[in-house]
Amino acid sequence: MRNFSDSIKYAVVRNNLEKNNGRICCEICGKELKSINEGHFDHIEAFAKGGKSAKDNCQILCSSCNLKKNDK
């Protein structure tokens, strides 16, 4: 399955909030996101390269960082 389940997304958001003192921030640049809708749930290890849709392979990125990562 390519997409993350709602329970994985919830856990990743919760961890991000705890790590950033109640703010949702991009894992790469640290930019604060106004809402979770501004963020992208991203595979740390690309799905196309065998990365699983699991909690430990999921991160929240701003759209700019996600697009930059996509170029690599």
Length of the chain: 72
Determine the pLDDT at residue 72.
Answer: 56
CATH code for the domain of 61: 3.40.1800
Q: Is residue 39 part of a domain?
A: yes
Q: Is residue 1 part of a domain?
A: no
Q: Taking the model in full, what pTM does it have?
A: 0.88
pLDDT digit string (tens) for 8-66? 999 999 999 999 999 999 999 999 999 999 999 999 999 999 999 999 999 999 999 99
Q: Is residue 40 part of a domain?
A: yes
Tokens 């930059």 found at? 68
Domain hosting residue 26, numbered range: 6-70
Determine the pLDDT at residue 71.
Answer: 54
Helices vs strands, H then E, count in the chain = 2, 4
Q: How many domains does the chain have?
A: 1
Backbone angles phi, psi at 29, to 5 degrees: -100, -15
Contact 25, 32 (CB under 8 A): yes
